[in-house]
Chain A
């Protein structure tokens, strides 16, 4: 099996992967980073969103082997020095979750939205750009509020 070397949350990691190993499988099963979820496994729900070289992607539809040499950030990599990332804090404060299953993907997508659109990103843009993330509990209202509030503090 080929050995894969890449950076995950700032740390150099390596492991053996099959050709078919998905990035989400490598993260969860080999590195134990289970914050990245698998919801639909058909590239629709967005619970598996991580950043690869700074871009939000669905890790259930990316081969681990194709990430050789890349820099991957997962939900575990957002908090720094024991303090929640402003977007995580905002989801907590605005009650942007109910069961929490979609939350890691929502937060990774939200951070990407703010990076591309800036701190003052408007509600319409947030709603449009969250189209690849499904929540089946809260109805999105508080999620959008959380993204706006988190954006201001990023």
Chain B
């Protein structure tokens, strides 16, 4: 790994100022993607701005309508939070299936979402629950956030400070993990809002997380496995690699969506 200047600011404003001043800087959250990437020589930033010292960015607040999770909150903290378990149990369960224990102790929700790995789990939850991504500059609806392979709506230097998840009537997450990496080969998060409208978020299958409009329409009419039994996702444009073909991933979307509907509570 090439050397860099290390910074650990205590506030969001200081972090943003440090990045702005740097010619080639990156933010570091849990570090479980950026550090391996830097070790491989794929990135060699001049400045690394570690966000882990910003206390205001971590923690979980639940109200009657939403659960707001600070961007620096770790996967383990989300998975074991009694507030999340009570309000959106599917979200806590999903966080508890990311990586292994040691990874969950470091990886953060903000880091995961900002990285937008096509096989990461949080994007499906953000889409299905209709989350709002809060940054130091604005609020971005999840539907406008994940724009492509490792691409997001974030501008240079913008920092995710929190993610707000509306509390659904019911929800569930189903994942087919790659047996070696435990990243989602395909993962589906299904939620039915308090207004009865259903949303289906898919990760792992495409270059970016996406929603399945046909399933959402059917589930909004009748939230049952049967109502989506015949709905297929076209494999065109899905990921096709050594781990799975596009057709297999498309098949998994249907299977996992049905399982998620059956499990939703």
Chain A residues with CB under 8 Å of chain B are 2, 18-20, 41-43, 46, 49, 55-58, 61-63, 65-66, 68, 109, 112-113, 116, 129, 131-133
Contacts and interface: CB of A to CB of B under 8 A. Distances in A.
Interface stretch (B97-105, B123-131, B253-261): B97-105
Contact of B102 (A58, A65, A66): A58
Given A41-B39, A131-B182, A62 B2 contact: no
B8 A61 contact: no
A56 B36 contact: no
B52 interface: yes
B6 interface: yes
B4 interface: yes
A112 B52 CA distance: 22
A97 to B, nearest CB: 19
B3 A42 contact: no
Contacts of A112: 101
Interface string B128-148: 000000000000000000000
B6 A63 contact: yes
Given A63-B35, A65-B8, 6 more contacts: A20-B2, A57-B102, A58-B106, A63-B48, A66-B8, A113-B101
Given A20-B3, A131-B100, A62 B106 contact: yes
B113 to A, nearest CB: 19
B117 to A, nearest CB: 14
B31 interface: yes
Nearest to B34: A61
14 contacts: A19-B48, A20-B1, A43-B103, A56-B105, A58-B106, A61-B35, A61-B106, A62-B31, A63-B35, A63-B48, A63-B50, A109-B102, A131-B182, A132-B100
A46 B8 CA distance: 26
A55 B105 contact: yes
Contact of A63 (B5, B31, B105): B31
A147 B32 CA distance: 27
B39 A2 contact: no
Determine the interface band of chain B, counting residues with CB < 8 A from chain A.
20 to 34
Contacts of A109: 101-102
Nearest to A1: B3
Given A42-B39, A43-B32, A62-B31, A132 B99 contact: yes
Contacts, number: 73
A34 to B, nearest CB: 20
A19 B31 contact: no
A56 B182 CA distance: 19
A55 B52 CA distance: 15
Contacts of A58: 102-103, 106
A105 to B, nearest CB: 9
A63 B28 CA distance: 10
A46 B102 contact: yes
A22 to B, nearest CB: 8
B201 to A, nearest CB: 25
Interface string B161-205: 000000000000000000000100000000000000000000000
A49 B6 contact: no
A129 B101 contact: yes
Interface in B44-69: 48, 50, 52
Nearest to B48: A19
Contacts of A66: 6, 8, 28, 31, 50, 52
A58 B76 CA distance: 14
Interface in B11-38: 28, 31-32, 35-36, 38
Contacts of A49: 102
A32 B54 CA distance: 31
Contacts of B28: 63, 66
Contacts of A41: 39
